[in-house]
A = this chain, B = another copy of it.
Amino acid sequence: MNTKIHGIFTPHIVPLQANGEIDEPELRRYVDWLIEKGVHGLYPNGSTGEFTRFTAEERRRVVKVVCEQAAGRVPVLAGAAEANVRETLIACETYAGYGARAVAIVSPFYYKLCPESVYAYFREIALNSPIDVTLYNIPMFASPIDVPTIKRLAEFERVVGIKDSSGDVAFMMRMMSAVRPLRPDFVFLTGWDAVLVPMLLIGCDGGTNATCGVVPELTRKMYDLTRSGQIAEAMQLQFRLLELFDAMLYSADFPEGFRAAVELRGFKVGRSRQPQTDKQQIDYFALQNVLRCILSDFGYVDAPAGGCPPRTGDIDQDRVSHIAATVLETLRQRGVI
């Protein structure tokens, strides 16, 4: 029998080659690194993995590579949403065959569906999937899954949990209150790194956190500290993680900031499939400089040659602009632009 899903799963980015194709060797190297750093599981085809920017074939290849490379060392939660229920079910079967522990299926997007339609969609999947299903609620991008709908869906044995990226602590508690009397084993994972420790404290089983793909050591430590009751220490790290998270999240369109940070950890991520203007590429380097400063405080990377400004505990909005100007000047001097 399958063990209950728990811990910090990594919704990882997908490295790309110069020609835009998936960089499979680098993806494998990245998976190894994440596992060595202590992640509890892997989560290909998440929002961080830009699943919508790949073809159906490519999404399958990503899961295949990750399952192969993980090779049972950690469980794989595979994003399986496709264009419609039939295609999604084919992906479920395929990923079951690859050895995934479960699939994660985002609520229907583009169209904003009413709760009854969201229920009908997941019900159809729950009745036919050969593999455990976790619901994926991300109201900023997809049709929201509300509490009554979650409660109704928890009646299906195949639905084993939910990943919620709303970041709303009260909403998470409402889900728990609604579902746990019926399904004490139901798994609650938070996708909002900014409140990982508070979410664990209120009873979450773990998280699927993009930040984990950047600083897996840190998120693992936060998880372990919280579990062992060292809350003050855990919260101290949470405040520091928040600075990193906000810098990655709000300085560029998601998930570009996370890709910039993974690159600093020593991986070739390549250019995004979403085109960028020259201005955005300059911003990218400027952001990396900021991220390098934050990461160097943790000792994960070396500080930039020019040094870092003193930390005041909050993200200085002017800092990015300042460094952007510096980078721009440097690029000009070198004749790059």
A interface residue numbers (CB < 8 A to B): 20, 47, 52-56, 83-87, 108-114, 116-117, 119-121, 123-124, 140-142, 147-148, 151, 167-170, 173-174, 176-178, 180-182, 192, 194-195, 198, 201-203, 231, 235, 238-239, 242-243, 246, 253-254, 273-277, 279-280, 312-314, 317
**Cα(A176)–Cα(B47), bound, Å:** 29
| A202: B residues at CB distance < 8 A | 198, 235, 238
A277–B141 touching, CB < 8 Å: no
- Within the complex, the shortest CB–CB distance from A82 to chain B, in Å, comes to 8
A239–B177 touching, CB < 8 Å: yes
B109–A109 touching, CB < 8 Å: yes
A201–B170 touching, CB < 8 Å: no
| A235: B residues at CB distance < 8 A | 201-203
**Cα(A110)–Cα(B108), bound, Å:** 10
| A317: B residues at CB distance < 8 A | 148
B141–A111 touching, CB < 8 Å: yes
| A86: B residues at CB distance < 8 A | 20, 273
Since A109-B110, A117-B276, A121-B274 are in contact, a sample of 9 more A-B pairs with Cβ atoms closer than 8 Å, ordered by chain A residue number, is: A109-B109, A116-B279, A117-B253, A120-B274, A167-B168, A170-B194, A170-B242, A173-B238, A203-B235
| A277: B residues at CB distance < 8 A | 116, 119-120, 123
- Within the complex, the shortest CB–CB distance from A184 to chain B, in Å, comes to 11
Given contacts A83-B55, A84-B53, A120-B277, contact A174 B110 (CB under 8 A): no
Point out the residue from B87, B113, B176, B254 that lies within 8 Å of A274, measured CB to CB. Answer: B113
- Within the complex, the shortest CB–CB distance from A238 to chain B, in Å, comes to 7
| Copies of this protein in the complex | 4
B121–A275 touching, CB < 8 Å: yes
**Cα(A222)–Cα(B194), bound, Å:** 24
Given contacts A119-B277, A198-B201, A273-B84, contact A173 B111 (CB under 8 A): no
| A313: B residues at CB distance < 8 A | 177-178, 180-181
Can you list the 9 inter-chain pairs with the closest CB atoms, starting with the nearest?
A: A170-B194, A178-B314, A120-B275, A124-B275, A177-B314, A84-B273, A177-B313, A198-B198, A181-B313
A173–B194 touching, CB < 8 Å: yes
Task: Please give me the residue from chain B that is nearest to A180 by CB atom.
Answer: B313
B170–A192 touching, CB < 8 Å: yes
| A194: B residues at CB distance < 8 A | 169-170, 173
- Within the complex, the shortest CB–CB distance from A126 to chain B, in Å, comes to 11
Task: Please give me the residue from chain B that is nearest to A310 by CB atom.
Answer: B181
- Within the complex, the shortest CB–CB distance from A326 to chain B, in Å, comes to 20
**Cα(A298)–Cα(B279), bound, Å:** 39
Given contacts A147-B314, A313-B177, contact A110 B54 (CB under 8 A): no
| A238: B residues at CB distance < 8 A | 173, 202
| A173: B residues at CB distance < 8 A | 194-195, 238-239, 242
Point out the residue from B119, B121, B169, B280 that lies within 8 Å of A117, measured CB to CB. Answer: B280
| A192: B residues at CB distance < 8 A | 170
